[in-house]
Amino acid sequence: MILNKVKIENFRILRDVEIEFSSDNKKPLTILRAQNESGKTTMLRALQWGLFGKYALPKSGRNYRLYHLDLNVGDEIKVSVELDFTHVWSESPLLKTTAKKESSYVLKRSVFEKVMKNDDFERKEESVELLEVTPNGYSPVANPVDRLKSILGSNLKDLFFTDGDDALRFIESADGNSARRGHVKKAIKDMLSFEVIKDSIEHVKIIERSLRQESTSITSGDAQKMLAVLDKLEDSMEDRQVAIDDLVDQKDETDRDIRKIEIRIDDILEKGDKEELKKRKDALKRNEDQIDNNIKNRYTELSKFYYGDIIGGVLCKEKIDITYNFLVDLKNKGVFPKASLPFLKELLANEDDCICGRPLKKGTKHYTKIEKMIKEEAENDELGDRITQLRGISKDYLMQKTKKIIFDNESEELITNIIEQKTNQEDLQVEIKKVSNEIDSIPDSNLKELRKQSKDLTETRTSLNKQISRLRFEQDEDKKDYRYTKTQYDAILKKEDRTKKILSKINAAQDIANVLKDTYALVENEEVPKVSENLNNLFLTIIKATDGDKNLGLIQKAEVNRDYDIEVFGPKNRKYDNKDLNGASRRALTLSFVMSLAKVSEFVAPNVIDTPFGMMDEIVKESCLQTLIKECHQVILFLTRAEINDIEDLLDKNAGSFHTITNSAHYPSKNLVHDNNSQDKISLICKCSHREYCNLCELKGDSSSGMKKRATK
Amino acid sequence: MNFHNPLQGKALNFPKEYKDKVETYCATKPGGGESEGPEYNPFKRQVDLWFTSFCLGVNSGNRTKSKNAYRFITGEVLAQNNHMIEIIEMVAIAETKEPLIIGDTQKLADISNEYAATGIAILFNALKYTKDQTPLWNLVEYFKDNL
C-alpha cells in the first residue's frame, strides 16, 4: 500500500488538514516538520484510525476523545479521515515471483461524537466507505471492512506505524519476555503469511473430511467401517500432535532455562568458584602466616644481635685489645700461668739440697717458705686458669668478634631477609585482599543453587524427551495404521465405480494439504532466518558497527532467534540485555526489524515514523535515514527542527513532499512569530520545507538562520 | 649449662630514673603485660638491655657512679650468657691492669654497673633514634650511623 493523500477533519486539534504524500520511487520521503505539541502524534493517530478504525486508538478508543477541547457540552461534531491510497498486490501472495498489480482506493471513515459533561463523550458507530478507482470512475466496494482487512493485513498498524517508544515492544516489553516474543512472533507470522497457510491447511482438512462423510452414503459397510477407523486415527493423531507440540514447547522452554542458568554459571565461574576461591584464600593465608612467623623469628634474631657477643666485642674492642696484650705480656713474663709451682713441689719432694746449695730439709726456714709459696700458688690456680682462658678468649674476640664488618654483614643479611619476607608478605596480603574481594562479589551459594537448578532442569528435559519420543513412536504407529487403512479404503472405493469421482476429490484435497504443510515448514525454516540475517545487516549498518566485512564496535551481531527473541551480541558472542542498549541503538534495532520483515515479505506499505532521530547523533542519524530510503517503498517522517539538523542535504535529495505542522497556540510563548487564530489552538499546515518558513510557521530566529521565506496568499 | 660466673649473688643495677622505662623495651615484663614482639621489645630480658648499656658505656669510655641505683636482678642470670661474663671480665682486666680483679666480684659488679649507668642513656637515645620507626629499627639505624 502506498499513501497518496489524506484529508482530516475535526480530529482533535486537526480541524481541516490535507496532506499529499510522495509516492515517487526516486523521492520516497515525505517530511512533516513539527515542533513538540504541534500535532504529530495526533496526525499519526488520525492516519491509523482512518485505516484501521477504533481498534487503532489507545484502549480501542474507549477513553480517547476525538473532538476538540474547545467544543462545548452538548456540541456534536463529525470527525472524518479520507485516505487516497494505492494497494500493491499479487494474485498469489505465497508465490513471490508473481508480478505485482496495483489498485487505487479512496477510504472514507467518519464518526459523530457528542461532547458530554465531565470531559465525557458519546460516539456513534463509525461509517466506512471504500471506493475503488476504476477506469469508469469510483466504484464502491461491497464489503469494505473485509477488503480493508485483506489489503492491510493484521499487523500493518503495529509494524509500519512506528509511534515512538511504543515500537520498542519488539525488543523490550513491560509485560515480560513472553509478551515481547509474542509481538515478534505475531509480526513475523502475519507478514510471512503463516496464518494464511495455516488457515488454508485447516480449510482443506475440513473439505477432505466432508468429502469422506459424503462418501459413506454411497459406499459399502466395510468402507464405512474403515472410514470410522480413519476418523478415529485422525482424531487420535491430532490430539497426540497437540500433546507433542505442547511437550516440545515445554522442552524448548526448559532448554532456554538451562541455557540461561549455564550462562550464569559460566559468568560465576569466570569470576571464580567461591568455594575454590575460599580454599585459595586459606592457602594464601597459611602461606602468609608462615612468612609472618619467619619475619618474627628473623626480628628475634636481629634483636639478639644487639645484646650478643659480636656487638659486645665491637663496642668493647679497645678494652679487649688491652686485655689481650696485657695477658700475653704476663704470660711472656711467666706470671700467668705460673711455671714455678711444679718445680717447687719437686724440690720439697726430694728433700735434697736446694739448687742454691743450701740444705732443704723439712722444718727449715727455706722449706717452710717454699711450702707457703706452694700454698699461695695453689689458691690462685683457679683464677689463673681463668686468666689463661681469658687470654685465649680475648684473642678469639679480636680475631672474629670485634670486627665491625662482621657485625654489619651478619646484621645486614638478616635485615635484607626481613625486607624480602615483608615484600613477599605484602604481595600475599594484596593477593588475599583481591581474592577476598572476588569472594565478596560472588553471591552466596549461587553456584551451588544454580547447579542444582541446572541438574533438575536437565532431568526435566530428559523426562520430556522420553515423553516426546514415546508419543512420536505412537504417532508413527498410528500413521502407519492410517496409511494402511487408507490404502485399503481407497482400494475398496476404487472397486466401486460410483465412488471414483469422490475418491479423486479426496486425493486432491490431501495433495493440497501436503503442499500447504510443506510450504508452512519452508516459510518457517527459510524465511525467518532471512529476516534475522536482514535485521543483522541493517542494524549493523545503521549504527555503523561495520566497515565492509570488518566489525568495528562493541555490538557485533543482532538476530531473531528460534524463540522469536530479538537479541544483540557483543564481542565473544556475549549477549546484551536490550535494555542496556542506548536509546539510538534500540530505535535502530526496532526499525531494522520492521524493515527486514517488510523486505523478506515483500509487503509494500509506507513506514510512518514519529520522531525517529531524537536520540541519534549526526552519523547514526544520517546512516539511519539512508537505510530507510534504500529499504522502504515510502517513508513518512515526523521530524522536529532539531532532528532535521545535519541531514538537510539528504532531505533535499530524497524528499518528494514537505509540510510543516504548527500549533497556533504556540504564539507567542513558544517562539511562534505570527498570531494565526492562537485562541483556537489548532494545528496549521503549510507546505514549507525544512529550508523555508512562512507567516504560518515562522519561529523566532528563522529569518536570520539562512532559511528562505515562502510566499503565501 | 652453667658457666663460670663471678657475679653470682651480686646486684645488677640501673639508675632509678630508668626504672619505669626499662620494661618498655623488654619482652619479659615482670610488671605484667604482653610483649608486642621484637620490633617494639628488642630485648628479651632486662639483663640483655643492661648488657647492651654496659657495652655502650664501655665504648664511651665513661663510668657513672649512680647514687640512686636500683637492683633489678642479681648476677646469677648471667650464667646463661657466658659472652656477657667474658666481656665484663676482659673489660675489668683492661680497666684495672690487674688480672686477679676477676676474683674481686664486688669490684667487677661495680665496674659493670657503672658502665651500664653510662650506657643506658646512650641506649635510650638510640631506641628513639628516629621518630617514625620502631625501637628495633631505631637500633639498626643508630648502630649503622654511629658504630
Q: What is the mean pLDDT of residues B16-38?
A: 87
- Reported as a single tens digit per residue, the pLDDT across A68-116 is 888 889 999 999 999 999 998 776 655 555 677 889 999 999 999 999 9
Q: Answer whether A383 sits within 8 Å of B99, measured CB to CB.
A: yes
Binned at pLDDT 50, 70 and 90, residue B1 comes out as very low
What pLDDT score was predicted for residue A223?
75
Q: Chain B: nearest CA to A343, how far in angstroms?
A: 23
Cα–Cα dist B62/B77, whole Å: 25
CB atoms closer than 10 angstroms to residue B39: 18
User: Are A595 and A629 spatial neighbours (Cβ–Cβ below 8 Å)?
Assistant: no
> How would residue B2 be classed by pLDDT, with cut points 50, 70 and 90?
very low
Which among B4, B42, B83 is the nearest to A386, CB-wise?
Answer: B4
Flag whether residue A286 sits within 8 Å of chain B, measured between CB atoms.
no
Minimum Cα–Cα distance from A402: chain B residue: B87
Contact at CB, A312 and B97, closer than 8 angstroms? no
pLDDT of residue A353: 64
Q: Can you tell me the distance from the alpha carbon of A269 to that of A341, in angstroms, rounded to the nearest whole number?
A: 90
* Distance between CA atoms of residues A494 and A492, nearest Å: 5
Is B142 an 8 Å CB contact of chain A?
no
The answer to whether position B4 is within a domain reads no
Q: Is B6 contained in some domain?
A: no
> Could you tell me the three cell numbers for A343?
718445680
Quick: pLDDT tens for B66-93.
889 999 999 999 988 899 999 999 999 9
State how far the alpha carbon of A229 is from the alpha carbons of A198, A480, A487, in Å: 26, 13, 13
Provide the number of CB pairs (under 8 Å) joining chain A to chain B.
112
Distance (Å) from the C-alpha of residue B68 to the closest C-alpha of chain A?
A: 25
Q: Strand, coil or helix: what is A622?
A: helix
> By CB neighbour count within 10 A (0-12 exposed, 13-18 middle, 19+ buried), where does A26 fall?
exposed
pLDDT in tens, B88-131: 999 999 999 999 999 999 999 999 999 999 999 999 999 999 87
Tell me whether residue B24 is in a domain: yes
B43/A306 touch (CB, cutoff 8 Å), yes or no: yes
Residue A632: burial class (beta carbons within 10 Å; 0-12, 13-18, 19+): buried
Q: How is A444-486 classified by DSSP, letter by letter?
A: TTHHHHHHHHHHHHHHHHHHHHHHHHHHHHHHHHHHHHHHHHH
Q: Please report the pLDDT score of residue A338 as a whole number.
A: 64
Q: Does B52 touch chain A (CB under 8 A)?
A: yes
Instruction: Give the pLDDT confidence score for residue A644 in this predicted structure.
Output: 93
A327, closest residue in chain B (CA to CA)? B99
**Closest B-chain CA to A397:** B87
Report residues of chain A scoring pLDDT below 50: none
Residue B38 domain-assigned (yes or no): yes
Query: B-chain residues within 8 Å CB-CB of A313?
Result: 87
Residue A302: list chain B partners with CB under 8 A. 38, 136, 140
CB neighbour list of residue A74: distance below 8 Å, 6 or more residues apart: A114, A115
- The number of domains in chain B is 1
Asked if residue B100 is part of any domain, the answer here is yes
Determine the pLDDT at residue A538.
92
DSSP label of A675: -
B interface test, pick of A309, A316, A336 with most B CB neighbours within 10 Å: A316
Shortest alpha-carbon distance between residue B75 and chain A (Å): 16
Q: What is the pTM of this model?
A: 0.53
User: Is B80 part of a structural domain of the chain?
Assistant: yes
Domain membership of residue B121 as a residue range: 11-146
* A411 at B interface, C-beta within 8 A: yes
